[in-house]
């Protein structure tokens, strides 16, 4: 039986910061279904104006929202502020994307009348958000869904409900009905009930592959329900020859350790050319040794905060020990920095000698290193995963990058850029265990409305010229 309450704790202090009752799925869905015809009947211009007002409400609440994100996730305040900016910027990106991806079109068909293409909203959309970007990532589903004419039931992660509640409040203050955007508080059982509910027309999910696969399996016999799965990655970063070694090392550290490694696009595996291995690893370790790990509001500001909770920290340290016992060579040990709080040092381990490297997403500041000799070997190693979210090549020639781009299986492929930090102005998504071929960000409009093709004439006109008996 589901818990009657959800409690949110600050990772950096362990203190309780929010408590709320678990919502009633049936009641929330019924309210959403009543609200949908009213919201869908609003002119597109009105819906766009209201989401723009939402952006202004977020601007007014920027400090409060950033503080909430920092407290509830543990991420540094500077990073929480960038998340709030992403929430604001998402609105104009979504307006442009809707016009581009789902605009109305008419084609003259001469005697056949006019052919038209328009789009309709699905109805009630369930948005299941993650804890690592508790405002930005669900917002990336909510805003496009609203513009298209859907209503939204937003279930935030049970680890970050306070941020979800404040985000929804900004929608309501903008003049969007509290029935058109509802927050559903609850844990995994509540999420499962929402996903399976007959009154829900679409599920927009961001989170782990384990949960995403369960959603996919649950809805496999219901092709009418839109499902967009944005899941994790076991992302490779390939390091090849470059004269700019210091910049390359910084890109590796950014890819692996930003957000304490709690990004679906974080680099999990560093694949290094053998001839530059010592120089690269020495540089990455020296930079990792300098990274400040601390609480969100510390001075000087930290680069990394804690991971989300002690259970996650325990799992990561156990994974490090497993890799060690399986033949891994430690380069920088993973250390629990504070008793009873989930602060971890960034860790680096060479797993070249591990016979069967686990193909899992280790969601934290743990970078695995593999040494290779040839570029084809590097590409094969990069593809040695069931995931396919992001991949980067650092260094190399334009010809190397062309080979890398053509052969690496991923939805985001970069050159001399980190694996993370994707732009909302481009499509975002992965293949394999990273997603179900429904890229979000700029292409979110594609799964928020479905196309309707029409042929139209002012008056009926038809005749049958063959196969009839004479009159």
Show which residues are catalytic. Answer: 230, 264
Q: Find all residues with CB under 8 Å of 170, minimum gap 6, and list them.
A: 54, 57, 58, 61, 65
40: tokens are 């869908």
Q: DSSP assignment, residue 23?
A: P
Cα separation, 251 vs 257, whole angstroms: 10
Residue with tokens 């409690």: 7
Pairing of strands 329-332, 347-350: antiparallel
Q: What residues does 413 pair with on adjacent strands?
A: 391
429 burial level (CB within 10 Å; 0-12, 13-18, 19+): buried
77-101 vs 62-73: helix axis angle to the nearest 10?
Answer: 110
For residue 124, what are the CA distances in angstroms to 178, 195, 294, 378?
Answer: 14, 11, 41, 45
Do 123 and 202 form a contact (C-beta atoms < 8 A)?
Answer: yes
Rounded to an integer, what is the distance from CA 126 to the centroid of its chain?
A: 15
> Residue 412 CB: number of other CB atoms within 10 A?
26
Phi/psi of residue 3, each to 5°? -65, 150
Long-range Cβ contacts of 42-45 (<8 Å, 24+ apart): 42/149, 44/147, 44/149
């Amino acid at each position: 039986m589901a818990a009657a309450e959800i409690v949110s704790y600050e990772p950096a202090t362990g203190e309780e910061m929010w408590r709320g009752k678990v919502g009633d799925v049936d009641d929330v869905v019924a309210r959403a279904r009543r609200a949908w015809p009213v919201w869908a009947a609003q002119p597109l211009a009105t819906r766009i104006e209201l989401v723009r007002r939402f952006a202004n409400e977020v601007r007014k609440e920027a400090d409060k929202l950033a503080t909430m994100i920092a407290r509830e996730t543990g991420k540094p305040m500077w990073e929480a502020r960038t998340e709030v900016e992403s929430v604001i910027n998402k609105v104009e990106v979504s307006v442009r994307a809707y016009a581009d991806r789902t605009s109305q079109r008419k084609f003259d068909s001469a005697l056949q009348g006019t052919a038209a293409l328009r789009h309709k909203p699905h109805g009630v959309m369930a948005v299941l958000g993650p804890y690592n970007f508790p405002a930005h990532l669900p917002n990336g589903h909510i805003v496009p869904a609203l513009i298209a004419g859907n209503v939204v039931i937003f279930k935030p992660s049970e680890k970050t409900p306070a941020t979800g509640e404040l985000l929804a409040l900004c929608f309501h203050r903008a003049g969007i009905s509290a029935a058109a955007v509802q927050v559903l508080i609850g844990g995994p059982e509540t999420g499962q009930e929402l996903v399976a509910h007959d009154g829900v027309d679409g599920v927009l999910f961001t989170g782990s592959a384990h949960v995403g696969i369960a959603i996919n399996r649950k809805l496999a016999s219901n092709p009418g329900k839109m499902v967009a799965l944005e899941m994790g990655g076991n992302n490779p970063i390939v390091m090849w020859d470059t004269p700019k070694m210091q910049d390359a090392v910084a890109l590796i550290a950014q890819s692996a350790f930003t957000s304490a490694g709690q990004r679906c696009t974080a680099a999990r595996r560093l694949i290094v050319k053998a001839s530059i291995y010592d120089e690269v690893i020495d540089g990455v370790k020296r930079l990792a040794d300098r990274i400040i790990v601390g609480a969100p509001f510390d001075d000087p500001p930290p680069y990394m905060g804690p991971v989300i909770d002690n259970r996650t920290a325990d799992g990561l340290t156990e994974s490090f020990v497993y890799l060690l016992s399986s033949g891994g060579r430690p380069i920088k040990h993973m250390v629990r920095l504070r008793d009873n709080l989930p602060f971890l040092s960034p860790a680096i381990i060479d797993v070249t000698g591990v016979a069967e490297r686990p193909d899992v997403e280790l969601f934290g500041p743990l970078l695995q290193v593999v040494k290779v000799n040839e570029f084809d070997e590097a590409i094969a190693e990069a593809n040695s995963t069931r995931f396919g979210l992001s991949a980067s090549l650092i260094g190399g020639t334009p010809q190397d990058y062309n080979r890398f781009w053509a052969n690496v299986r991923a939805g985001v492929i970069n050159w001399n850029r980190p694996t993370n930090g994707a732009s909302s102005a481009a499509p975002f998504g992965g293949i394999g265990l990273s997603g179900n071929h429904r890229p979000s960000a700029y292409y979110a409009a594609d799964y928020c409305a479905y196309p309707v093709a029409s042929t139209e004439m002012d008056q009926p006109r038809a005749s049958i010229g063959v196969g009839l008996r004479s009159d």
